[in-house]
Structure 1
């Protein structure tokens, strides 16, 4: 039988077969040692083949094959630094939810998400949430962030999950697509999904006032069919976004504004550091490239982790 993985708990999977029936599945034991260094060899969104087995009074599916993925979103596993964690597979649109505070989403986190999307052929889209909560200075900061990413070509919406601001436009974007919502715990992923699809009743929690942290409510990645013709993958809130399997000389290619200038650099293998006649550095000095983006690039190039000033919940 063939189906799509709708939920992954790490050891058990819920698979929706082509006939619409859901099955609880596990993977064959030897499946884990086929050179897959991911903490989750099967992820939500995967198309898999499985056979049914009768165990007592229960019918269990055994996953034997993963179909080729068109793309996936991946990051380093926080607890096992030498392994990776595939967040979702076969994604048409990856929405990153951004909040200015409660919790704070820093630009280095946004940039790492976008770089990974570029590297693994995923289309990203930024959702600036909680627009109903910001004062005038904060709204100006949001507009500044938007100007940075608009100039590069990334799409965005300013939304409020609470007031349902621009949620209808979001539905239109999602129609006919498999979409992923990602971001820190507390940015409002589950609240927004509940607005988009009344009746799902995903668990939500308030932000901790003491630490301005999200309370981790989504434990496992899970996909839902929505009644307006879309599928949404809700993911656990993530603290860090470790970059995976990128050579130093290719990282700049995943910054579209750097890639556009690359041919104007004096050296073909320019890393945009101290090389003479670097078009990226020249553009940076002229204000044509954002310093926050260049800082993120240097961090990734040097293998640094994100520079967090607050401790966020989540993996």
Structure 2
């Protein structure tokens, strides 16, 4: 029978089958995905074919992984030159960000957006903890929302404890499979518990010593919160190393740079030093935000310090 992987714990996978039941399943043999070096051959969101094991009580074997519509991947933290697929078959990627307690860097936001854009996955940025912002931060947040909105990203500011805000977020999730991500401590689990109290996701206080959250989600997991509405919760991601994007195509995943395609003097312009570069001119004139251009340069250099 067919099903959807809703949880992966390394060697076992929980599969939501067509009959509405969840079965623990393992992989048959080794799966290699052509052209993709990954530490996890099966990921949450994968559509799979399962055979029930004879003599075993309610366990199955995954015999086939169906073609993926898309996926979000990051560099493996353990295996060099390998990726780790966070989730697959996603309708939208939701990033929970905060400007205080802890601060989400613009570099991290931009890496997340590039990862989503490389598969044409619409992205939604939720700026959480608006109730904790002082006037100076409130103004800065408005400027960021204006900047990201102007290049086509949906942005919302909210407090996880404001019921009106929660209803607005729910409306954005309706009838979609949404990947939720963000640094530890941004209030992702609290937010998900408010959206669907039955989830009972573990939450933890932000450590005041390092101003960073404590990891509370261990594995990516999918939850159904309606007939066709699913949320994929992911572990708090410290960094997001980009995979499978070469330097020649990186600017294609910045919408404001993509709009300038073909306008540079040289067709193979890297937008770093060439004369007659339309992107560098746009940065100079303020049509491309300096922070976004800085993120672009950082990704080109693949410099860990900017993640």
Shorter-chain-normalised TM-score: which range? over 0.9
Query: Which deviates more from structure 2 when the two are superposed, residues 210-219 or residues 223-232?
Result: 223-232
Aligned residue in 2 for 1:210: 209
Shift in CA distance, 33/273, structure 1 to aligned 2, threshold 3 Å: closer
Correspondence 1:127 to 2:131 = no
Q: Matches of 1:153 and 1:163 in 2, distance apart? A: 26
Quote how far apart the aligned CAs of 1:302 are.
Answer: 1.7
Which residue is 2:49 aligned to? 49
- C-alpha displacement of 1:32: 5.1
Partner of 1:25: 25
8 Å Cα contact 1:73-1:89 kept in structure 2? yes
CA separation in 1, counterparts of 2:249 and 2:303? 17
Distance 2:34 2:242 in 1: 23
User: Deviation string for 1:223-280 (max 9, x for gaps)?
Assistant: 1110475110010000000010111110011111011112211111111111111111
Q: Map 1:84-233 to 2 at 5 A.
A: 84-227=83-226, 229-233=228-232
Task: Give 5+ residue unaligned stretches, structure 1.
Answer: 309-315
Relative to structure 1, the CA distance from residue 12 to residue 35 in structure 2 (aligned partners, 3 Å threshold; closer, same or farther) is farther
Deviations 1:9-64 (A, max 9, x none): 121100000110110011112225876521111010110001111355x2321111
Secondary structure of the 1:199 match is helix
* Contact map agreement 1:27 1:64 (CA 8 A) in 2: yes
Aligned length, in residue pairs: 307
Which stretches of structure 1, 4 residues or longer, exceed 6 Å deviation after superposition? Answer: none
Q: 1:306 Cα deviation (Å)?
A: 4.4
Contact 1:132/1:163 (8 A) holds in 2: no
- Secondary structure of the structure 1 residue equivalent to 2:207: coil
Q: Specify the alignment match of 1:68 in structure 2.
A: 67
Kept after mapping to 2: 8 A contact 1:175/1:228 = no
Which consecutive unaligned segments of at least 5 residues does structure 2 have?
Answer: none
Shift of 1:78: 1.6
Q: Partners of 2:34 and 2:159 in 1: how far apart?
A: 44
Q: How far is 1:151 from its partner?
A: 1.4
TM-score normalised to the size of structure 1? 0.94
In the aligned structure 2, how far is the partner of 1:177 from the partner of 1:219? Answer: 23
What's the secondary structure of 1:179's corresponding residue?
Answer: strand
User: Superposition pairs for residues 260-271 of structure 1, below 5 Å?
Assistant: 260-271=259-270
**Closer, same or farther in 2 for the Cα pair 1:259/1:137, shift >3 Å?**
same
Mapped to 2, the partners of 1:301 and 1:35 lie a distance apart of 22
1:233 & 1:99 partners in 2: Cα distance?
A: 20
RMSD, aligned CA: 1.5
Equivalence for 1:284: 283
Measured after TM superposition, the shift of residue 303 of structure 1 is 2.0
TM-score, scaled to structure 2: 0.96
